[in-house]
Amino acid sequence: MPAYAWLSSGSPTREEITNCAPWWRRALQLVRPRLVIPVGRLAIARFLTVPRLDAVVGQRLQITEEGFAADVIALPHPSGASTWLKTEPGRTLLARALALIHEHPAWRALRAIPFCYPLLRRRS
């Protein structure tokens, strides 16, 4: 098997997730984010129990992990193969989630940093 095959292998294996867990934990301990935005079911499941996307997308939830508390605003995966974003309740919940992110104090603080603002500005 070529060395690059893992790039197109789809979801990570349990072993890969387990191997990366210490790095994730350490990154969270160092950064101590006030807002976590997981994108897609796999990322969401890292922080929340996900029975269905419509149970978490469009909500501002709280986690306490690695000695800090943070808000979590989950987003669906932007895959073109999924119809979830194009149908209800996905369309409404995505709009609600994006509005929650836009109004979150941590996101607003990022927008206040001069070097970040051009990157976050909507392009016309």
pLDDT computed for residue 115 by the predictor:
63
What is the mean pLDDT of the segment spanning 7-13? 69
Chain centre distance of CA 65: 15
In this predicted model, what pLDDT tens digit does every residue of 60-103 receive, in sequence order?
Answer: 999 998 788 999 999 999 887 888 988 999 999 999 999 999 99
Residue 33: pLDDT over 70? yes
Cα–Cα distances (Å) from 122 to 10, 14, 40, in that order, read 31, 38, 23
pLDDT one-digit tens code per residue, 104-124: 999 998 877 776 555 555 554
What is the structure's pLDDT at 123? 53
CA distance 48 to 69: 13
* pTM of the model as a whole: 0.80
Q: For the residues 28-52, what does the mean pLDDT come to? A: 91
Structure confidence at residue 5 (pLDDT): 43
Question: For position 68, what pLDDT does the model report?
Answer: 84
Which H/E stretch holds residue 70?
Answer: strand 68-72
Distance CA 99, CA 93 (A): 10
Backbone angles phi, psi at 62, to 5 degrees: -115, 145
